[in-house]
Structure formats: C-alpha cells, structure tokens
Amino acid sequence: MKYDSIIMGHISLDYNTDHLDNTVEVIGGAVTFSSASAYALGHRVAAFTKLAPADRDRLSGLIIPQEDVFCLPADSSTVMKNKYFTADKERRTCENVSVGTPFSVDDIPDLDAAVFHFAGLIYGDFNNDMIRKAAEKYDVAVDVQTLLRHRRDDGSMYFEDWADKKEMLPYIRYLKTDAAEAEILTGTDDRKKAAKMLFDWGAKEILITHNTEVLAYDGQDFYTCPIRARNLSGRTGRGDTTFAAYYCERLAHDVPTALLYATATVSAKMETPGPFRGTRADVDAFIDAFYPEYR
C-alpha cells in the first residue's frame, strides 16, 4: 500500500479558552488537523500516534479511515490548555498539562510513502536521530513548532531557537513555520528574508503562515496566497491544516497550485472549529467563489 504521507505526532486533549473566557474541551494535535486536510484533498495518509491505554478514545477524533491509523502504547498522553486573548486568536498562551511519551527511532514505521511528516507539539516529542533516519527513505516534512516550543516544570510554555538547526535543516524537504517562529529561527521579521535564510541553511522548500497569507519559497521564487476565511471560529489548527495540504499537493502540482489549494483549504477550515471535514470538491467550490483570479 502506497501512502502520500506518514504523519507522526501526539493526539492531544485540548482545553481552549477564548477571549471571553468560554472554555471548550476538544481533541487536537498537529496529527489530527494535518491528516484531515490531506485526506480531504484525496490523499492517502497514515497517522502514527502514541496514547496511554485509557486515552485511546481520542482516536475517534481522527477523520481518516481507521485502517490508516496506527496507535502505539504509551505511559502518558498529551494534554494542553490554550488561552486566547483576542477574537482573532492570534495571541495566546499555552500550558502543557501532561507530556505524551516521546517517540523514538524504533517507532518509525517501514511503510511505502512519499513524505514523512513530524507533526509534534513540544520539544522532545522527536529527536534528531529520528529525522536523520526518516530522511534515508522519505522526503521529510517538519513543523518547527515541535523544535522551538519548550515546557517548563510548571507546564508553562516558552519558545527557544533550535540549537541544531544548521546541522539538521539539510535533512528536511518541507519546512513549515509561522511568522513568529520564523523570526525566532532567523532573527528577522521579514518573512521573505527568513525563508531565504532557512533555504540557505539547507531546507529545500519553506512554508511560512501568517494571519493574512501563506508564503512559499523553493529557493528560486517567492509565492504568496491570501487567507480569505470569512470568520475565525476554527483558527486552531491553521498551520497544521495548511502544511499537510501543501506538501501532499506538491507531489503532483507546482508550487503556486499547491499553495492555492492549501490556502483555500485552511481558509474554509478556519470558518468551522475542529479538523477540516470537507472534500476536494468543497475546496474547488471555495476557490471558485473566493479565489476566482487564480483560476
């Protein structure tokens, strides 16, 4: 069986509190949002996760067919608390209440796939040896959140530059950051300059998300596509949704086409909380309605 992508990461239980102090309990995690968007566009993806036995009910939060879900036993599962301070959900604090058992090199599956996506939540979910090992067989995709976001002993989170970035970036085919993470990595708030620096350090293709647009850079040209969500009730999972949609579309399309489909998918997703549950036909209709100049 051939997969377009293997997506590995923890399924988290999230307590999300909005700027009005309303709290909801939801199933989250990068693997949840990423696998949903890739599947919606017609791609075959395998989701690899780790859960404590008591938390296996979280698997029901995944949108993809259960036959493509692989759950490894764990001593602990991930629990997060997210507090949003603004209506657009751009400002937030995160607390890691429970740390999921880290993944190891031995957890990397031997499956036929094009891309291996490290969809982590905090530093320590994966190690450098895992990235090196995966790169021997797959095109590696990494969301740098899992390399920059650290946990203090009290569960509070902070961001710190990735000390091994120049050593490890050459192993990465697709690298995703948001605008703030790109600045942490490079020291510049100019997204184009940051993308070029990350490429020069070794990553082959860079994707940087922002609340207004998504930027892609392949070492030759910069491409941008605007986000056109009509509301932001489904803001959580923006980057994860965008990233998997993008690199899966890149398997058969050029950068501008993949970027359009990824940005349209996340724009549609952001209008409804939770992982994207639409289809490729829904994304095409969204493009026709809100991106007519791209047709």
pLDDT bracket for residue 173 (50, 70, 90): very high
2-294 adopts what CATH topology?
UDP-N-acetylmuramoyl-L-alanine:D-glutamate ligase (3.40.1190)
Q: Tokens 């997210």, residue?
A: 82
The residues, ordered by sequence, that sit 6+ positions from 149 with a Cβ below 8 Å of its Cβ are 94, 121, 122, 123, 157, 158, 159
pLDDT tens digit sequence for 96-125: 999 999 999 999 999 999 999 999 999 999
User: CA-based angle 10:16:20, to the nearest 5?
Assistant: 165
Q: Give the mean pLDDT of 36-59.
A: 97
Answer yes or no: is pLDDT of 164 > 80. yes
pLDDT tens digit sequence for 140-161: 999 999 999 999 999 999 999 9
- Report the side by side order of strands in the sheet with 23-28: 23-28, 12-17, 79-84, 92-98
pLDDT tens digit sequence for 247-288: 999 999 999 999 999 999 999 999 999 999 999 999 999 999
* 221 SS3 class: coil
The answer to which of 20-24, 87-91, 95-99, 272-276 has the lowest mean pLDDT is 87-91
Whole-number pLDDT of residue 242:
98
Whole-number pLDDT of residue 86:
82
Is residue 10 within 8 Å of 52, Cβ to Cβ?
no
- Report the DSSP beta bridge partners of residue 84: 92
User: CA-based angle 246:160:80, to the nearest 5?
Assistant: 70
pTM of the model: 0.95
- Ordered by start, the domain boundaries in the chain are 2-294
